[in-house]
Structure 1
Amino acid sequence: MRSVSIRLRAGLLATCTALTALAAVGPASADAQAAPQLNGDWSPFTRCPVDAPVMLAADGRIDIVQCIASHAASGSIKLGTTEVVTGASDLQLGVVQHATGAPTLVAPAGGALIADSADIPGGLLGLMCPSDIPVISDICRGITNATLNRVVATVESAGTPSDFNLTAGATSGQPIIAIPVRIHLQNPLLGSACYIGSAAHPVVLRPQNITAPTLGIQRFDGNGTANTAGVMNRLSLINASQTDTTFAVPGASGCGLGGMLDWAVNLKTGLPSAAGHNSVVLDNASTYLAGLRAPGTVVPNNGKLLSEYWHSAVR
């Protein structure tokens, strides 16, 4: 057993140089194309899934279709004992309001939530070191440069959001939506599959407004041009900081070869962490909801017209 441990430590240290070279190259660039720019009052809805079949099928009487976009310029997230200052986040969805029952939420192909990556304070040294456990202490001694130490965290979608409550979005103190996410931890020694949360066991955020947002209503033409007699309506809920302290966080998984570093990440960061010990804050959140002003007048073409108008606004 001792000889296996020695070989394992030696192997980990021997890979540091190769991993440094790989990290300099970096991961392959994403294949997804950049979201289009839209004209005028359509501008927040760059990823609305207007061409999803369930959106196109909305008739305007039984089913009414709309787009939702929510953007926060910055924020922070605390998981267990680790807190990270985050950058911008962007949540976009299609929503189908039914004559009866809860609305159907439709996520864009690339996921409902896109967020800027953020550096974990202290990097891998902060997550795992110091340690009196031989394998981990050897890794700590092998982290000799910033590339090997840096840990980047990215919040990613882990499923389609649910439980959308428009009234909660216009007031304060009530959950607005449930957003399943996972946090991707990226570092050469952690590998490419190190996550906190998963599609099967996500972190579920339920943000609520700390104070009520500023409410506004705009009318605009199908191509996004402002017009007080336009066929489109946009509801704006702006300048509302949001928070959630109710979510639980599972332990990390997939960190290191065969997940051998899961326990080290969990030990130092205090994961898994029960509800009440974690938090998320979104600063200056602005939320928009857009749809046809009188969908009942275009039956059965509500969804098709929304898609046509959206595409006419693409610059």
Structure 2
Amino acid sequence: MRLFAPRTGLATVSALTALGAFASMGTATAAGPALNGEWAPFTRCPVDSAAMRAADGLARTPQCVVSTSAGGSVKLGDTTVATGRTDLQIGVVQNADGTSSVVAPPGGALVADPATVPGGLLGLMCPSDIPVITSLCRTLEGSALNKITATMESVGAPYAFDQTAGVLTDLPIVALPVRIHLENPLLGDHCYIGSKASPIVLRPENLNLPEFGMSFFRGDGTPDEAGEMSRIDLTGATQSDSTFAVPGATGCGLNVGLINAAVNLKTGLPSAAGNNSLTLDDTRTHLTGLTAPGTVAPDAGRIVAENWHSAVR
């Protein structure tokens, strides 16, 4: 018995690659521990979460997923930002009825290089016919205060996960609600595009199918064709979404909201669906789990956790 049916496995990996795509507008955080052998990419898999440990291997099967990309781009209204390297790591519990649940690591699923907004504050809000903004624009030229970074944050659990779409092209794989935190001293601490109440909802899809590879290994990560663990590798896929709408910025300015109008006017926000886009190039995704989870029921989740810990160097 293998790790999972090809359709289910590929769908899960492709969907989570998509989740990682937009996260590359972020600030990198500390990595997890170094792991041995085939476990190496899965440094932040939430193997100790209650949901993962409770997966029995029959009705619920635990898996770890990591998806990385060297970069891509995202267009929001009139602003395009180049995305840097991203690292998405989550746990997935595959249910016998074909549905699945996503489990994020304690520190969050997304780790990414920071993205710099082109033109900084000058590019976002200058020139302006708003008097207070015009005054700010004069002080920004040549100033270190001009730089803006953008951090993507999840603001709710993913939903509408379609396993079949994950192995096909041109079909939405998952819905992912997010917001963007714009950071600059003059913007204050609460400047966001999107919110928990009005998020940006991404529905990425495959533009092409990735190259497929599979390997087997022992619980501690040592490669072994007869090993109890399986790993799928998918490489080279490009994913995209141009269906999402983007709300206006809120909370921007030291007096919260003072600069909202200038940011929205200059960047073309709010922006209706069809005017925005996401592209992520050269995704590299890995998924691992027990080769025959049913044979260790009801302890599959516990065994995956023990194997992960045994691989920590």
> Which bin holds the TM-score, normalised by the shorter protein?
0.7 to 0.9
Q: Distance in 1 between matches of 2:108 and 2:186?
A: 27
Alignment CA distance shift 1:44-1:201 (3 Å): farther
Counterpart of 2:227 in structure 1 is 230
Answer yes or no: is the 8 Å Cα contact 1:112–1:160 preserved in 2: no
Answer yes or no: is the 8 Å Cα contact 2:31–2:43 preserved in 1: no
Aligned mate of 1:54, from 21, 27, 51: 51
Counterpart of 1:263 in structure 2 is 261
Q: Distance in 2 between matches of 1:313 and 1:166?
A: 30
Answer yes or no: is the 8 Å Cα contact 1:79–1:249 preserved in 2: yes
Q: Distance in 2 between matches of 1:178 and 1:68?
A: 18
Aligned mate of 2:244, from 244, 247, 252: 247
Give the deviation of 1:166 after TM superposition: 4.4
Q: Distance in 1 between matches of 2:308 and 2:197?
A: 34
Counterpart of 1:11 in structure 2 is none
Aligned mate of 2:107, from 105, 110, 116: 110
RCO greater where, 1 or 2, for CA within 8 Å and sep 6 or more? 2
Counterpart of 1:92 in structure 2 is 89
Q: 1:206-221 residue pairs with structure 2 within 5 A? A: 206-221=203-218
Identity %: 59
Give the deviation of 1:167 after TM superposition: 4.0
Larger radius of gyration: 1
Q: 1:16-165 residue pairs with structure 2 within 5 A? A: 33-100=30-97, 102-165=99-162
TM superposition score normalised by structure 2: 0.86
Q: 1:159-174 residue pairs with structure 2 within 5 A? A: 159-174=156-171
- Runs of 5+ consecutive residues of structure 2 not aligned to the other structure: 1-26
Alignment CA distance shift 1:33-1:83 (3 Å): closer
Counterpart of 1:293 in structure 2 is 291
Aligned mate of 1:312, from 298, 310, 313: 310
Q: Distance in 1 between matches of 2:172 and 2:311?
A: 32
What SS does the corresponding residue of 2:90 show, helix, strand or coil? strand
Give the deviation of 1:82 after TM superposition: 0.3
**Which amino acid in the other structure matches residue 220 of structure 2?**
N
Alignment CA distance shift 1:239-1:280 (3 Å): same
Q: Distance in 2 between matches of 1:167 and 1:100?
A: 13
Pairing 1:188–2:185 present = yes
TM superposition score normalised by structure 1: 0.86
- Runs of 5+ consecutive residues of structure 1 not aligned to the other structure: 1-29
Counterpart of 1:15 in structure 2 is none
**CA RMSD, aligned part only?**
1.8
Q: Distance in 2 between matches of 1:98 and 1:84?
A: 37
Give the deviation of 1:192 after TM superposition: 1.6
